């Protein structure tokens, strides 16, 4: 669960970058990580990165929910065993 916090906070600035720089920006070409991008390829690259972040966050949320369900079932089973042991 602690591993998911950087992945949850990093993509918060990406939609602003997509709207302000890729769609509304007038400077072309843009240089990022040593490569030059025109406006449409830059927009597609940012959208692909955003989609990747969404999929990573979904995977983390899925794994946390599965783990929460497993822990809940185990706790319920232990409580049942303790209840039947008392009776």
CA 17 to chain CA centroid, nearest Å = 17
User: Average pLDDT per run of 10 along the chain, which is 87 residues long?
Assistant: 68 79 74 78 88 89 93 94 84
CA distance 55 to 43: 18
Q: In sequence order, what are the beta bridge partners of 30? A: 37
pLDDT of residue 36: 80
**Torsion on CA atoms 38, 35, 57, 63, rounded to nearest 10:** 140
Q: What is the pLDDT of residue 65?
A: 94
For 57, the enclosing helix (H) or strand (E) is: helix 39-86
Euclidean distance between CA atoms 64 and 81, whole angstroms: 26
Query: Given this model, what pLDDT does residue 3 score?
Result: 67
Q: What is the pTM of this model?
A: 0.71
**Per-residue model confidence (pLDDT) at position 31:** 74
């Amino acid at each position: 669960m602690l591993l998911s916090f950087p992945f949850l906070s990093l993509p918060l600035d990406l939609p602003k970058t997509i709207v302000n720089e890729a769609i509304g920006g007038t400077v072309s070409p843009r240089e990022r990580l040593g490569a030059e991008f025109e406006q449409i390829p830059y927009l597609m690259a940012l959208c692909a990165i955003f989609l990747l972040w969404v999929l990573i966050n979904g995977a983390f949320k899925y794994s946390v929910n599965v783990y929460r369900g497993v822990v809940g079932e185990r706790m319920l089973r232990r409580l049942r065993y303790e209840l039947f042991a008392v009776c």
